Amino acid sequence: MSKWVINENLCKGCGICISRCPLKILAFADHLTAKGVHPAAITDEAKCTSCAICARSCPDVAIEIFKEEK
Amino acid sequence: MKQVFSRPQSLSKKPFHYCPGCDHGVVHRLIAEVIDELEIKDRTIGVAPVGCSVFAYDYFDVDFNQAPHGRAPAVATGIKRVRPESIVFTYQGDGDLAAIGTAEIIHSANRGENITVVFINNAIYGMTGGQMAPTTLIGMKTQTSPYGRDASTAGNPIRMSEMIATLESPVYVTRVTVNNPANLMKTKKALYNAFKLQKEGKGFSFVEVVSICPTNWGKKPADSHKWLTENMLPVFKLGTFKDIHGVEKS
């Protein structure tokens, strides 16, 4: 299961999550969504620490974050 | 896997109509999170303004009303007085609150109505296409100030928080922003304090959120937050102007 889940129907491609990710592991995807935007996508999920800064910064609440339980 | 971040319950499933990057969505979510945390969803009534956030009633899963332009604090006063057990908040922009609604906000604050006002200040009229607002910065170009705002004809930007803090009755007046993750969390704390004070029946609380308008400023969302930090924050200084019950220290 993925740590970083985006609802591409909500993403408007504003790029705020990409600019704020402390590990710089977010980028625009190559494909277009129904809205006609390149949605945000995660490039290296293994590095993700589930800090949720991207999700908290998202103006459209498009991102859900999961964390591995120890 | 444990879910660490999800959509708050008090936010409806409807996608926001706001422009890409607009801070309205973030502030909506923070308010919804605060409503969830204080467990007041069943008795919260919001009042939507006129402006971009006029459709706020679609986005919150709580009872809502929509007031004529600028009159949200007056409508909220009526709701709170006939349903004193409810938690009433207004959500207004700077064109709504600082221009046409100046009388309503000042007198609601002065009466100390037990309501919460969330004021989104992005220094421009958003919905109508980017005209000069009372909060527009000196020299800032808008549709109706194409050479930049000139203080000799259009006056200086109004600082609503400072003005309201001079009144006796309000219990909590603060200015926050969502330009970075740290300030975003401070905004949530301020909204929590404001709603908590109302829940405890303490009186009028006012939270000003300095925000962006990427579309009408003609900037990318990330550049807008930079512009806000460099240009708006020196004029609209962050801080708490009034905190009678000391909620920020407790």
| ipTM at complex level | 0.95
Contact (Cβ atoms closer than 8 angstroms) between residue B46 and residue B57 = yes
User: Which residues of B, range 54-113, sit inside 8 Å of A by Cβ?
Assistant: none
Could you give the dihedral angle defined by the CA atoms of residues B186, B106, B132 and B221, in that order, rounded to the nearest 10 degrees?
10
Nearby residues of A33 by Cβ (< 8 Å), 6 or more positions away: A8, A9, A11, A13, A39
The answer to whether residue A12 sits within a structural domain is yes
The answer to whether residue A58 sits within a structural domain is yes
- Give the CATH number of the domain where residue A55 resides: 3.30.70.20
Domain that holds residue A57: 4-65
What average pLDDT does the structure give for chain B? 96
Residues A36-64: tens digit of each pLDDT: 999 999 999 999 999 999 999 999 999 99
Distance CA B46, CA B14 (A): 17
| Beta carbons of B21 and A16 less than 8 Å apart | yes
Confidence of residue A1 (pLDDT cuts 50, 70, 90): confident
Residues B164-206: tens digit of each pLDDT: 999 999 999 999 999 999 999 999 999 999 999 999 999 999 9
The answer to whether residue A31 sits within a structural domain is yes
The answer to whether residue A52 sits within a structural domain is yes
Give the number of domains in chain A.
1
Q: Which residues of A touch B184 (CB under 8 A)?
A: 56-57
The answer to whether residue A70 sits within a structural domain is no
Alpha-carbon distances, residue B32 vs B44, B73, B112 (angstroms): 11, 20, 24
Residues of A contacting chain B (CB within 8 angstroms): 1, 3, 9-10, 12-16, 19-20, 37, 50, 52-53, 55-61, 63-69
| Beta carbons of B25 and A59 less than 8 Å apart | yes
Lookup result for tokens 């499933």 = B13
CA distance A41 to chain B (A): 16
Nearby residues of B107 by Cβ (< 8 Å), 6 or more positions away: B73
3-class SS at A52? coil
Domains of chain B, start order? 23-243 (3.40.50.970)
**pLDDT(B248) > 90:** no
**By the CB < 8 Å criterion, does B34 face chain A?**
no
